[in-house]
Amino acid sequence: MSKADMTGLKYFIVHMCVEIICFHLLRYYYPTELAGIIALTYDFFAFVPQGIIGDFIKKHNKVPYESIAHIFMFMSIFLVSSSFQAVHMIGYVFLATGNAILHECGAIATVADSEGKMFPAALFVAGGSFGLVIGQTFGIYQISLYVLIIPLLISWLLTLTTKKSVRAVNFPEFKSANLKKNPVTLLVAVFAVTAVRSYIAYAIPISWKKELWQTFLLFFIMGLGKGMGGFVSDRIGARKTALFSTLSAIPFLVAGENIMVLSIIGVCLFSMTMSITFEMALNVLPKDPGLAFGVTTIGLFFGLLPAFFIQVSKMTNIMLVIVLSVLCFVILSKTLKKS
């Protein structure tokens, strides 16, 4: 296994461990009344500051970011498990900040060691889907919070083995975007496509998911799609991968509401653009992968906002999935290089 793939695998595990901790804590106490407030606060601190954090890491490379992030997450376990509800929200802010730092470490390390390929970063991103469903399951079944010390230690030890990669100063070039376009236009396109994909992830019509194993399968397929996006893109190009996966996912997502096989095919295809939007941002910000990754995470946050404040009918959701997917297809066709 190459160094690039090894770094991707390490951060796949780190990402999985981090999300196990985060979603276990998010599910543990607040399944109902405060769930929305806590989730929105957590999402804001986990997603929005990432670009700033990534740029800070680039400029101050002697700070032990990996250890600081894990200390934040360790503190969050005890704050959230405290009998004093007043400190719970502080715990979730620590949790989200630790998550954001480790996401940026993963983005920078996988790009630094990538040898010009997107698969390592795609593999890193894919780990989150696996951790999310495991963490939610732990929370639903009220598994002791102190079990989280195990994934915390695993994550911390693995990040220590990639410290040099996080502090790299030279990065490989990526040339998937149409650089004839204005750089601001390209970053707006990255933001828009990521936000739309984030929204659609919550709007996908799924009524077949009734058993725990089906939930695991759904998130497994979602993670598989994210990893496949980078793998296929390295072989046939980002444009072909993005356009095919975006357009071909639509009929499967719409027709698969009650048919699991069709639905998971659509989810897999839909997830494949995750690493491609990151690659587009890297084209514009080649020397600052942390900031480039932050553009995508801001898009993720804004794509989540409608789910907190707006409820629409099933038919409206289906129409939005179709219209927004076609919009993404058009944006990607205009901003990704043809060759």
For residues 25 and 87, state if they share a domain. yes
Q: pTM score, two decimals?
A: 0.93
Q: Count CB-CB contacts under 10 A for residue 84.
A: 7
What local confidence, expressed as pLDDT, does residue 178 receive?
A: 85
Q: Does any domain span residue 176? A: no
Q: Does any domain span residue 171? A: no
For residues 261 and 195, state if they share a domain. yes
- Show which of 116, 139, 166 is a domain's final residue: 166
Which tokens in the block code for residue 23?
């979603």
- The DSSP result for 31-82, as a single string, is SSTTHHHHHHHHHHHHHTTHHHHHHHHHH-TTS-HHHHHHHHHHHHHHHHTS
- Residue type present at position 268: C
From 48, 190, 163, select the one nearest 105 (Cα to Cα): 163
What is the span of the domain harbouring residue 123?
Answer: 3-166
Distance between first and last Cα of the chain: 29
Which tokens in the block code for residue 304?
């989540």
CATH assignment at residue 280: 1.20.1250.20
Average pLDDT value for residue range 9-20:
97
For residues 75 and 208, state if they share a domain. no
For residues 293 and 224, state if they share a domain. yes
Sorting pLDDT into bands at 50, 70 and 90, what band is 338? Answer: confident
Which tokens in the block code for residue 253?
């997502």
> Which of 24-33, 57-66, 190-199 has the least mean pLDDT?
24-33
Q: Does any domain span residue 265? A: yes
For residues 123 and 242, state if they share a domain. no
Sorting pLDDT into bands at 50, 70 and 90, what band is 297? Answer: very high
Q: Which residues pair with 177 in a beta bridge?
A: 336
Give me the number of domains the chain comprises.
Answer: 2
Contact at 8 Å (CB) between 287 and 171? yes
For residues 135 and 221, state if they share a domain. no
Contacts for 150 with CB less than 8 Å, ≥ 6 apart: none
Which tokens in the block code for residue 218?
């759904």
- Show which of 166, 193, 220 is a domain's final residue: 166
Average pLDDT value for residue range 286-315:
90
For residues 150 and 259, state if they share a domain. no
Per-residue pLDDT for 31 more than 60? Answer: no
Q: Does any domain span residue 103? A: yes
Which tokens in the block code for residue 216?
């695991």
Which tokens in the block code for residue 84?
């004093």
Q: Report the range out of 72-81, 169-178, 308-317 with the highest average pLDDT.
A: 72-81
What local confidence, expressed as pLDDT, does residue 30 receive?
A: 65
pLDDT digits (tens, 9 = 90+) for 37-60: 888 999 999 999 999 999 999 999
Whole-number percent of the chain with pLDDT over 70: 98
Q: Does any domain span residue 177? A: no
For residues 260 and 207, state if they share a domain. yes
Angle in degrees, 0-180, between the axes of helices 183-203 and 289-309, rounded to the nearest 10 = 40
Angle in degrees, 0-180, between the axes of helices 314-335 and 238-255, rounded to the nearest 10 = 170
- Residue type present at position 293: F
- In which residue are the tokens 């998971």 written? 264
For residues 66 and 140, state if they share a domain. yes
> Which of 58-62, 120-124, 212-216, 308-312 has the least mean pLDDT?
308-312
Per DSSP, the three-state class of 182 is coil
Number of residues in the chain: 339
Per-residue pLDDT for 156 more than 80? Answer: yes
Distance CA 161, CA 2 (A): 15
Distance CA 305, CA 307 (A): 5
pLDDT digits (tens, 9 = 90+) for 216-261: 998 999 999 999 999 999 999 999 999 999 999 999 988 888 889 9
For residues 230 and 145, state if they share a domain. no
Sorting pLDDT into bands at 50, 70 and 90, what band is 33? Answer: low
- Higher-scoring residue by pLDDT: 155, 177: 155
CATH assignment at residue 53: 1.20.1250
What local confidence, expressed as pLDDT, does residue 130 receive?
A: 95
- Show which of 109, 131, 166 is a domain's final residue: 166
Q: Does any domain span residue 172? A: no
Q: Which residues pair with 336 in a beta bridge?
A: 177
Sorting pLDDT into bands at 50, 70 and 90, what band is 339? Answer: low
Q: Does any domain span residue 127? A: yes
From 25, 47, 24, select the one nearest 305 (Cα to Cα): 47
Average pLDDT, the chain: 91
Alpha helix segments (H runs only) across the chain? 3-28, 35-47, 50-59, 65-80, 88-112, 119-140, 149-160, 163-166, 183-203, 212-236, 238-255, 260-271, 274-284, 289-309, 314-335
For residues 157 and 226, state if they share a domain. no
What local confidence, expressed as pLDDT, does residue 32 receive?
A: 53
For residues 105 and 155, state if they share a domain. yes
Q: Does any domain span residue 308? A: yes
